[in-house]
Structure 1
Amino acid sequence: MPCYKNAIRSFICFCIALICINTCAAQVIDDDFEPKAFKLNIPKAPDAQFLTLKKRHLDAISSGDLITQGICLKDMGMICFHLGDFTRALQYGLDAKKLFEQEKRNDLLADTYINLGTLYYYHQDHRNSRSSFNQALKIYQSLRDQQGVAVTLGQIGHLMEKKQLYDSAFFYQQKALAAYTSINNNEGKAAIFENIGSIHEDLGQYKAAMSYFLSALNIYNNSKQITQSIEVENNIGDIFRKTGDLKKAMQHTQQALKLAQQSNEIYQVSSAFRDISKTYNLMGKNDSAFYYAEIARTYLMKIYSLETSRQMAFRQALNDEEKKNEEIRFLQNERKVTLIVTVATIVIIVLLVIAGLLMLSRHRIKLKAEQQASQQNIAILETEKQLIEAGLKNKNMEEIQLKQEIELKSKELSTHVLHIIQKNQVLETLKAQLEELVKDDKRDQKKQLKQLITQINQDFNNDNYWNDFSNVFEQIHKSFFEKLNQQFPNLTATDLKLVSLLKMNMNSTDMASMLAISQDSLRIARYRLRKKLNLGQGDNLIAFLQSI
């Protein structure tokens, strides 16, 4: 009986581990649609690479080099793509396309269309994705570039596979294979073999799939393409596992793991451990399955951490670049002001010299003394008028600059608010779904689900966003909290959060989302705040806060 309970416990732990792995994998591992034609070797510091490209782009704009501008935009777009910023990547790609069309660089234009096809796919825009691939194919055919034709046909076939149009997928993959064969490109043929094998696997035709995977593996091994060999070894392991030959499945998966560890392919290492876990589960060895599932989960967490750090560094680099550009614009404005002041000073000096000459000439020509004195007074008045106008312009410029700074801070504050609202809304949805699962008595993972709900509630109370929010809020509304605390020292941190949102005149729905509370709780919080602020029945709470 104890053995039976232990077996059940091990199986439950294994299932939970698989759920965690699949959840993390959905966040970290991209869809396998990514065409092989533009798998970039992204540098370890994409932010530095992006800034280098951006500098080259600015230099190209200064020199009027449209081709270099387009190339930089295309490469910047692909860095954004690999970092998950698909919207920015698509915009860069469209800008590059316009430049290449203008310069009639069809070779670069075709490559850009391939990138756009992939980006449209990630935006769930299959129509524009197919249209972009068709444009690339048309250009490559006009250039008689068989390599480009083969790549594009393979990508169209891959798109058809993802849309589950398997007949069309076979058709385009076979045409791509013929194109690669005509130029004797074995590596391209291997990629197509792998794609065709994947289609057969989707259709449950495992014998045919195995044949194509083995053909691809043979080519990759001969050309020492380690990364591609790892992927095919994993695919072959999947076929054996699906057909029930668990021993051979384990052999191929372990071979993939060995190659991945030797080449430090962390994604493939994680995938191999996950497949080993699945195989052990099918063997009935749930303890081993759980052990390897935990290893796979650890690798996925590491991947997620690395990707997050890389994206944060990239975002920070973009923000720093924007700040730097803002400082440059500020310095340019200062130089303009300095130039105006210098010109005014020169004018004054010239006028003073003229006045001195007039004073000397008055001794010589007494008849013209009054006329010269009058002219001098007029000149002095004009100079004073110019100085006053220059001073007013300086003050106006200072006011404009202050308004721009306030607008910038307000935008930054709105961005923080939006981030908090979006995060809380997602957590609210997840929490509601998890609570529904907890209410289901048929499920046996209540304890784990309750732990997840507790973690979500803890995340609701995370003050990191509030700290950033408060810093920006203080910069816009200087000394607001200080004055408020002097008058009402008994206000809590929660009261201050509510006060800041009321000060911004935010609606009740957004305030409730920001504070992660219900509308009823918000009304109670406002009522308690009014009591602490000693407001009467007819006093307006928001008007009172705006007056501080």
Structure 2
Amino acid sequence: MMKHLILLFLFILSSVTITAQKINSTEYCNNLIKNGIDALYKKNHSTSLETFAEAKKIAEQNKLYEQQFIATNCIGLNYYQMYDYSTALDYYLEAYSIAIKHLKSDREMTVLNNVALVYLQQGKYKESEKHQKRAYELAVANKDYIGIGIYSANLADLYNITHQLDRALEYVKISRTALSIENNPRITIDLSIVEAKNFLERKEYNKVLTILEPLLNTLRSKESMDHRILILLILSQAYQGQNQNEKALYYIKKSQQENLNYSNNKDIYNQFSSLYFSMGDHTRALQYKDSVIIVKDSLSAIKNQAMYQNSEIKLKLQDSEKELKSEKRLKFYIAGFCILILGLLSLLFRTLYLKNRQKRTIAERNEQIISLELKNKETDNLLLEKQIKEKETETLLEKEKLRNELENRNRKLAANAIHIAQRNDKIEQYILQLKRNPEMIKNDQLSQQLDQLKLILTKEENNDDFLSHFEKINSKFISNLKEKHPDLTLNDIRYISYIYMNLSTKEISSIFNITIEACRKRKERVSKRLNLQNSNDLYSYISNV
């Protein structure tokens, strides 16, 4: 009897000690999570990941499932912000498994929404829709109006992207109804932007302006800067749709001035290119297309750098996990020893085991589904890379098309100039033949009229017409040239324009009605005026004006 009382006393004492340790571990773990979230908000991903890894380790050791879920989910958020969507998805699915096994459905719908956003970034719209709808259905079941507002707004945005505009508008209405019951200003802003995107796709530009212009004036804080940039971009597109190009240009320039997020530059430069092309300024359109390619390359480099940093962090996390496994193994031996001592209590644990058996079976099935999804990820990534390459090829083809169109117009203009010069030569030859006629020599009046006609032909009255047509095709070339070299004459500018059009010396001499040698001398004279050492560098120099 005494022996049993001693065993019971030891059991109670050990239970009190374990409970006290668990309380201390919970408090410390919560502090780690708070610090990790602060680092995540400041985009200090290395510190944030290390902090959450430690919190996750403590939570696993002490079976703090709520803290374990938060730490795992936040590790996924870090990788999501660093564009490592594959690793982010791994941690989200791990967090989902924890939520299914141990937590309430509100945690389940949180991670389902995160998984849906990863699939959306990867262009897997069907998978994104499936997970987002599941999150939305859980929010409806729990009467979580904030959740309903968020997830229905996300579904509306997804349907905008996939051009299912009527379905998108239905979810916008659902979200508005939910937010009218429980308001959240940030979600309301997101919803207004989603609704404006829908009307933009429908080409109902007045509705876009009605929604976004009043909203823009309310967004002044640093936290709302990304919203402002997106709104300015949409407003520019709406005014472009109304052919109000000056207003469209104003808003896109404003978005460029205010933008602090480098990843927004791709959309901003695309809008500049589209706008200048619709305005007929093909040179600037091409320049901004080039900028889009540069931004894409830069983002790829940033992503590669992030991937490199991720690898270093993953190694640290793996080392931490190895330590955790060693500690788990030690705990396993201690637990086995305790089980031997407390064998009389095994019947009680058996009852708990039977209650949780069904829940574990469901979790195992979910893990099997997760395993199958992971196997398909690699194939999906290859398809995504192929799609990206196809888009880059389309951009290059569009740029080549614009360049060919510009060259074709220049060729037509050059051919017209040569044709006029050849016609004038023929007329001048006819005049000379007529003047040799004895009857013409006797007739002073006719001879004077022929001289006047020849004088008219020698005047370069078409210079201004040619230069105006040339400047329409080659936007800003002449104005830039005059700005750099104000002492150039009209003939010099005209001669430089023919060189820019890549005409031969023979063709230019024909247009100016001078000899080839005189044309070469003019080239040397113009090169000196442009401060060039060698006349052979003339074409290369003016091509970069």
TM-score, normalised relative to structure 1: 0.49
Greater Rg by CA: 2
Higher relative contact order (CA 8 A, sep 6+): 1
TM-score, normalised relative to structure 2: 0.49
